[in-house]
Amino acid sequence: MFTINVENECGCFKRSDFTNNMQFDNKDDALIEAIQMQNHMNENFCQKHEFKLNENGENFNIGVSMKPRQASSGGCCGGGHCS
């Protein structure tokens, strides 16, 4: 049995139609579903988190971490006249 586990269910995951700990008889089916889940969550959830897929034996774990904040340009447009 192959399992897809989302390590920390964020609010977006809880509100989605996804199910945690889904099990599959076939490794390929589990991997395809895990990749699709990871891609969907990274593209369509609130963008506060980053989701990474990790294979561990018969488990496909999707880890959740906060996205790093992007550096601010300080209001400069980058035209070279602010310095």
- At 48-67, the pLDDT tens digits run 999 999 999 999 999 999 88
Question: Do 59 and 7 contact (CB within 8 A), yes or no?
Answer: no
Q: Is 65 helix (H, G, I), strand (E, B) or coil?
A: strand
Give 6's pLDDT tier (boundaries 50, 70, 90): very high
- Which residue, among 4, 18, 11, has the nearest Cα to 48 in the 3D structure? 11
**How many CB atoms are closer than 10 A to CB 77?**
8
Higher-confidence position of 49 and 72: 49
- At 22-39, the pLDDT tens digits run 999 999 999 999 999 999
